[in-house]
Every structure is written in C-alpha cells, then in structure tokens.
Amino acid sequence: RVVVGTKVDQNHVNWVTAYNMLTGIRFTVSRTNAKLDRPLTDADFDAKHKFSFDITGNELTPSAKYDFKFKDYAPWVFRHLRAKFKLDPADYLMSLTSKYILSELGSPGKSGSFFYFSRDYKYIIKTIHHAEHKFLRKILKDYWKHIEDNPNTLLSQFYGLHRVKIPYGRKIHFVVMNNLFPPHRDIHQTFDLKGSTIGRDFKEEDLEKNPRATLKDLNWLRREKHLEFGPEKRTLFFEQMERDVHLLQRLKIMDYSMLVGVHDLQKGNQENLRDKTLQVFQPGGDAPTEDSGPDGRGLLMRTPSKLENARKARELRQIIKQEKPIPMGQSSSRMPDTLEENTTKRDFIFYSDDGGFQATHEDNSPGEEIFFLSIIDCLTHYGTVKKLEHFWKGLSQDKKQISPISPEPYGERFIQFIEGITKSPEEAAREKEAQATS
C-alpha cells in the first residue's frame, strides 16, 4: 500500500501551527513582493521583521483566526533566491496560501523535524532546530553567493525562513524549500546516500510493509545501482556535486546526504492519479503513517478545476503587479485535481528532464531512468554535532557508531562515494574485472 501523508485540516493537532505558518508566509511574501525590486544590500542578510496577528487585525496586519507572532527573516534575500530559482511569485503564493493546503508527513525522524507539503506538492515546509536556524542565517550570504555562481547547484533550494509562536507556545522555526520529487511522476525508488556504511541499511524485509521507504547506502550497493549519465552529463554532474560539497566543507557542514529518486520509464506512471497523489516520502525512514481522512484518502478532496486554478493565478499575478496587498482568507481549501509539472525547473540542467536528469548509456543513447538528485539536510554544523557527541559519549557503548567525522573527511568520503556510483554498469564491471586480475 502506498504511504500517504496526513491532510492537515481543522481536526489535525498541528492545524493551528500550519494555519499560522501559511498566514504568515502569505502576508510577508506578498508584502515584500509588492515592493519595487532593488539590488540586495548587506543589511538584507541580517534583516528580521516581527508581526503580531490577532483576530481583530490592526493597521499593519490583517485579522487572522488565531493570535500569533510571526517573524520573517531576510525577506529580500529570499525574494531574490526565489527569482534565481525561477519561481513565479504568484505561483508561490498560490501553492502556499490556501486554507488547508498541507499534508504532514509521517512521524518526525530522529531530528524531530516536521515536514509539510504544499497542497500541490511543489514545496516542503520543514521545521528546523534553533541551532539550524541560527546557522542558516549565519551562512546565508555564502549560500546566496554560491547560488549566484552556481545556478545549477544540487543543494536544497531555500525559499524562505520564518518563525511562528503562539501565546505561551514555543518558537517554531521553519524553512520553505523545494520538493525534489515531481508531483506528476511516480518515484519508484528513493535513496538517501551519505557515503557511509555504518547504520546505513534499511531492513530489506521491511520493504514489504512499506515499498516506498527511503533506502540507504547499503541497499544501493546491494542492488548494484548506478547513476549512469554517459561522459558529458557525468562530468557536469560530478563537477557540480564537487563544488557544492566544497562549499559545505568550507562552512563546516556535515551529515548531509544525496537524495536520489528514481523514476523507471518502463514502469511509467502505473498508479492511477489518486494513488499517485499519495506517494510521499517518509522523513527519517520511520514506519508508514496511515492517512486519517474520512474516506481514507484525505488528501484528495473535491477540487477546483484547472481553469479555476489558472484564473486564480492570473488574479494573484495582477495583484502583485498592481502592488496591492493580497486579500486574506479567500482562497480555496480544496486540493487541486491534477498535479502539474513544475515547468520552471526545465531551465536547470539537472532538473531539465521532466524535473530530473535522465540516464544516458555509454553510447549516449537515452537510459530507462530519470534521476531526481539533490544534496539535502545541509544545515548541520560540526560544532553542534560535537556538542551532542559530548553528551552522548557517556551513554553509548559503541562510541564509533555516533562519533562524527569532521567536515573535511565527511565531504571527501561523500564525493568518493558519489564518484564511485556515477558510472555505467559496464564500466563498473570492467573495473571489477581489472581489480580481480591485478
């Protein structure tokens, strides 16, 4: 059975948080987008703005369903980042602003982060730790520069950084980022690769229960899989990956992984639309969560037509052009009926084949797989890990299992692993043979 996310509606425990997140995003993003564009300044990277929402509203913020505070970080930087990633401003608001738009993914992984999809599955909201939040703010300029110099970066794309807080509640920091996986295509296999083998094994027998589970390094090796791109695409991919990892090394980041989604063209999109819509990943590789909707498929409500959607997008675009504030609380609470391709992705090399990067054989004939590739979870700073390690050391018998390696060797090992799997099966076989005879 397909793993499903849980629709966040009014009965969901995190409904208020989700509502506040989206209301805050809608307000702050349209507020920044309404202004005339201008180049970034140094101050933009440190900027933060606090807003209070309440049920009556005030001269600055419109009325909202709940009382909460919302903080918007570096709005101009993220506006420019969204432009670099070629997001359409109206589209972005459309995806993130409907009433119950989100589906929550499984139970949180080790890190305790929550994941939410926008209703059209284009975007992911990930709650992050305070340390990750502080760290992202600290490296924001480096990240920005890297995106400027590397439009085809494989790093996670960050579109926004915010914080919500309800009265007497705790502060919740979160980022908005790209969903690597296309809304309109089946992903037949998912791997989360770190280049390490310790504990990097998803129990094969659990695959039966959960065929869409995220597999790990050892599962990849066991299947003798390859990222087969032919000589040109391989060089492009490898060199970009190397540049990205060098940045992470320089910023003393570790624990990131290469997320790989595989679409098998021969299998195609077998699942019908209903099921296809429900294929979602599971953060942290935990047990599958069942959907809680009334019909057992809560993500799929009656939906607005394509035409309706297009009309709304047009309206939003006009609002933005005329620099009018966006009307609050009027958007649809239904899920879209068809999930569309994210066409802007076509401009980026590694996302140009229907959102991914198609395999190519040694002879340059097209391969049977489309790979969806990104370096994810890249906000873990070595300093934080060291502190955690210090804490755990006394508790664990097997120190090696948790002992983190420092960012330099982490990156080297990562690069080596990716290099090792980026080849054709024939090449891998030739190498194996050469090794055996030498």
Point out which residues bind ligand ATP (CB under 6 A): 109-111, 113, 124, 156, 177-181, 190, 192, 214, 259, 281, 283-284, 376-377
Cβ-based nearer residue to ligand ATP, 110 or 390: 110
Cβ-based nearer residue to ligand ATP, 19 or 114: 114
Counted residue by residue, the chain has a size of 438
Q: Is 132 a binder of Ca ion (CB under 5 A)?
A: no
Half-sphere exposure in the Cβ direction for 3 (13 Å, CA): 26
Question: Rounded to the nearest 5°, which phi and psi values hold at 106?
Answer: 40, -165
First-to-last C-alpha distance (Å) of the chain = 47
**190 contact choice in ligand ATP, Ca ion, none (CB below 5 to 8 Å, kind-dependent):** ligand ATP
Q: Is 354 a binder of Ca ion (CB under 5 A)?
A: no
Residues 6+ apart with CB under 8 A from 75: 28, 29, 31, 32, 47, 49
Report CA-CA distances (Å) from 431 to 196, 363, 420.
21, 18, 11
**219 contact choice in Ca ion, ligand ATP, none (CB below 5 to 8 Å, kind-dependent):** none
Per-position b or e across 346-368, b if 16+ CB within 10 A of its CB? eebebbebbbbbbbbeeeeeebe
Cβ-based nearer residue to ligand ATP, 110 or 400: 110
Check: CB of residue 150 under 8 Å from CB of residue 340: no
Helix residue spans in 85-194 (DSSP H): 89-96, 130-149
Q: Tell the smallest beta-carbon distance from residue 108 to ligand ATP (Å).
A: 6
**421 contact choice in Ca ion, ligand ATP, none (CB below 5 to 8 Å, kind-dependent):** none
**180 contact choice in ligand ATP, Ca ion, none (CB below 5 to 8 Å, kind-dependent):** ligand ATP
Which window, 29-37, 147-155, 343-351, 376-384, contacts Ca ion (CB under 5 A)? 376-384
**284 contact choice in ligand ATP, Ca ion, none (CB below 5 to 8 Å, kind-dependent):** ligand ATP
Q: For every residue of 282-351, which 3-state class applies, written as one string?
A: CHHHCCCCCCCCCCCCCCCCCCCCHHHHHHHHHHHHHHHHCCCCCCCCCCCCCCCCCCCCCHHHHHCHHH
Q: Tell the smallest beta-carbon distance from residue 380 to Ca ion (Å).
A: 6
Residue 237 corresponds to which amino acid? F
- CA geometry: angle at 332 spanning 276 and 325, to 5°? 125
Site for Ca ion in 58-117 (CB under 5 A): 111
Which window, 195-203, 223-231, 371-379, 393-401, contacts Ca ion (CB under 5 A)? 371-379
Cβ-based nearer residue to ligand ATP, 14 or 427: 14
Cβ-based nearer residue to ligand ATP, 180 or 316: 180
Q: Which residue has the tokens 């997001």?
A: 87
Q: Tell the smallest beta-carbon distance from residue 379 to Ca ion (Å).
A: 7
Q: What would the two tokens of residue 98 be?
A: 């409907």
Which window, 1-9, 204-212, 239-247, 370-378, contacts Ca ion (CB under 5 A)? 370-378
Cβ-based nearer residue to ligand ATP, 68 or 191: 191
Q: Tell the smallest beta-carbon distance from residue 107 to Ca ion (Å).
A: 15
Q: Is 44 a binder of Ca ion (CB under 5 A)?
A: no
Cβ-based nearer residue to ligand ATP, 228 or 377: 377
**240 contact choice in Ca ion, ligand ATP, none (CB below 5 to 8 Å, kind-dependent):** none
Cβ-based nearer residue to Ca ion, 326 or 378: 378
Q: Tell the smallest beta-carbon distance from residue 196 to Ca ion (Å).
A: 12
Cβ-based nearer residue to ligand ATP, 33 or 279: 279
Which window, 4-12, 329-337, 359-367, 374-382, contacts Ca ion (CB under 5 A)? 374-382
Residues 6+ apart with CB under 8 A from 435: none
Q: Tell the smallest beta-carbon distance from residue 237 to ligand ATP (Å).
A: 18
Shortest CA distance to 261 belongs to which of 339, 165, 179, 152? 179
User: How many C-beta atoms lie closer than 10 Å to residue 12's C-beta?
Assistant: 19
Task: Find the binder of Ca ion among 81, 377, 415, 417 (CB under 5 A).
Answer: 377
- CA geometry: angle at 231 spanning 230 and 237, to 5°? 85
